[in-house]
Amino acid sequence: MTPATLQVVTRRSDHAAIIELQGDVNSDGDAAIKEAYRSAVAEGYTTILFNLSQAAYINTSGISVLITVVMQAKKAGQKILVSGVSAHYKKVFDLVRFSTYVTMFDTEDAALASLKSA
């Protein structure tokens, strides 16, 4: 199976910057993921939503990249949400305690709706 090259697509909503990861999330995406996060913060966003619904595969290096970004955000007082995580990766995220640092939602719409009611 050929790896799916990661595409990092950033969109904006009224309440959050949405960083959608499409393809394989691994160490190859390190710079692109961190740059998307830095750009969103530079634009003034304090809430970042990582949409993983189009992530084909996430390996330990990819999880490490996400944890690094989440720890940076936590230190800076920013809020990180994650949506579109498959049942398998939810279990993995629970095992590595990633889910204790982010709020996870089944869909992007549910994540954004939670911000409107906050």
Residue 118 in this model has a pLDDT that exceeds 70: no
> What confidence score (pLDDT) does residue 14 get?
93
The CATH code belonging to domain 7-109 is 3.30.750.24
**pLDDT one-digit tens code per residue, 6-21:** 999 999 999 999 999 9
* pLDDT tens digits, one per residue of 32-54: 999 999 999 999 999 999 999 99
What residue ranges do the domains of the chain occupy?
7-109
> Whose structure tokens read 């009224």?
14
* pLDDT value at residue 1: 53
Indicate the helix (H) or strand (E) that contains 70: helix 60-75
- Map residue 74 onto helix, strand or coil: helix
Residue 2 has pLDDT above 70, yes or no: no
Q: In this predicted structure, what is the pLDDT of residue 3?
A: 63
pTM confidence score: 0.94
> Any residues with CB less than 8 A from the CB of 98 and at least 6 apart, and which?
63, 66, 67, 70
